Amino acid sequence: MNDKSLRDLRRPSRPASGKPPKITFPCRYPLKVVGDAAEDFAAEVCQIVSRHDPDFDPARLEVVASRNGRFQSVRVTIRATGEAQLQALFQELKATGRVHMVV
């Protein structure tokens, strides 16, 4: 294996142009929302996501606990309609004070 076939996983790969890839809206957009484990964390994330995507199906929400149980990741897929929708969703999730990361 030569050095060119290896990729540093800490840095996202970019196309040869150096620009991040464009997203074509509308599209299915997966999200992982990470926060402290609590009984109501997934429900709060679900409420916020539903406000930004009225067609969101809560039955497809997936909750995964961290190995030691301290954190939870709530995994959802939304129908993204544009950059403004995603920014508003990220801002509202961050404003809760309970979300550590959105991936």
In the chain, where are the structural domains located? 24-102
**Is the pLDDT score of 8 beyond 80?**
no
**Is the pLDDT score of 19 beyond 90?**
no
> How many angstroms separate the CA atoms of 71 and 36, rounded?
4
- What number is the average pLDDT over the span 22-47? 96
pLDDT band per the 50, 70, 90 thresholds, residue 23? confident
What 3 state SS string does 22-82 have? CCCCCEEEEEEEEEECCCCHHHHHHHHHHHHCCCCCHHHCEEEECCCCCEEEEEEEEEECC
Is 24-102 in CATH node 3.30.70.260?
Answer: yes
Does this model's pTM top 0.85? Answer: no
